[in-house]
Amino acid sequence: MKKSFLTLILAVGFLVVDFVDASPLPAELLMGNGRSWNGTLIRRDGDWIEFQTGTAVKPIRIGAATIKELKFKVDIDSDKIAEMMQKRQFDRIINALSKTLEPFLEYSDIPSNLTKYNALLMELYYRTKEYDKSLAISGKISLDDRNPALQAKARTYQALSLIESGRSEDAKALFTGYGWKQGVSKNASPEELYIKAKLLVLSEQYSEAMELVSRIVAFNSQDPDWMQPAEMLCAEVYTELGMYDSAAEVCRQILILYRDTPEFDKAKKLKIKIEKLRAEKQVEESLTTE
């Protein structure tokens, strides 16, 4: 996860084909024995699929469990997604992507080349705070070891979605289950440090959380995927500690450096909260003095 979110999207592209019918679907079928065929998926019949090669007169029936992978043929328009991302039209992207993936849903239990697009949908759901939907996708991808980098990404969003939805105990169990040891190893990844810091905040261990956030900022300044969220978390922790001047300064920097980002929006809201907390503190101090 060393590329920015936008770079990742540009790399995987965007599906813009509008299918009227879910079948037939052009695809390459890869079997566990190494054999493969190019042809068309005719239909799904429970545990079986009907597949027709270009030279066959009739389709053949193949057990879905015997298929190693399906490679679907889809059109991609990276310029379109780039334009929509610049405008931060996340809901529009989700709607378009969901519609494009719909014809393939009946084959979703079979490994396919659509995993990267589902990973994009997983990330978009997280960004729009639809954590249950993000978890439904990340939970599945986290079990798919064909692409270790994508699997690690899914596990990260799995943990973050649990934390943001208030399921801290589930997040802690997941953290332990995946063997993440950040805070101990000097080589801990920024995503592991961030997840652990979020868990510490939930436990009101703010000083320990700040230590991990500081490590992210100090050693990952060129990684916007984690630098920006870490700085935002830093401002939130300062706020919880009652260090309003420090929190306000971090928010000010975020508002200058990270326009048109989720952190920009969060910083604006936190700045208002800080001003309110300051006012309440002043009232309490004046009452105490009197």
pLDDT confidence of residue 181: 60
pLDDT score at 76? 62
pLDDT in tens, the chain (290 residues): 444 443 344 334 444 433 334 468 999 999 988 889 899 999 999 999 999 987 778 889 999 999 999 999 877 676 887 788 778 888 988 998 888 889 999 999 999 999 988 998 998 999 899 999 999 999 999 999 889 989 989 999 999 999 999 888 898 888 888 877 644 466 778 888 898 899 888 888 999 999 999 999 888 888 888 999 999 999 999 999 999 999 999 999 999 999 888 899 999 999 999 999 999 988 887 777 76
Both tokens of 179, joined, read: 């063997």
Element housing 41 (H / E):
strand 36-45
Contact between 116 and 150 under an 8 Å Cβ cutoff? The reply is yes
Q: Do 137 and 125 touch, CB atoms closer than 8 A?
A: yes
Q: What DSSP state is assigned to residue 143?
A: T
Q: What would the CATH number be for the domain defined by 180-290?
A: 1.25.40.10
Is 68 in contact with 30 (CB distance < 8 Å)?
A: yes
pLDDT of residue 30: 94
Output the CA–CA distances (angstroms, integers) from residue 69 to 35, 37, 116, in the order listed: 11, 11, 14
User: What is the reported pLDDT for 4?
Assistant: 43
35 close to 258: Cβ distance less than 8 angstroms? no
Give the residue from 103, 95, 43, 94 showing the smallest Cα distance to 74: 103
Q: What is the pLDDT at residue 186?
A: 67
Domain boundaries, the chain: 1-6+88-178, 180-290
Structure tokens at 65: 């469990």
Q: How confident is the model at residue 227, as a pLDDT? A: 92
State the pLDDT at residue 245.
95
- Torsion of Cα atoms, 231 then 232 then 236 then 239, to 10°: 70
Q: What gap in Å lies between CA 89 and CA 185, rounded to an integer?
A: 39
SS3 assignment for 163-210: HHCCCHHHHHHHHHHCCCCECCECCCCHHHHHHHHHHHHHCCCHHHHH
Whether residue 101 contacts residue 116, with contact meaning beta carbons closer than 8 Å, is answered with no
pLDDT at 110: 92
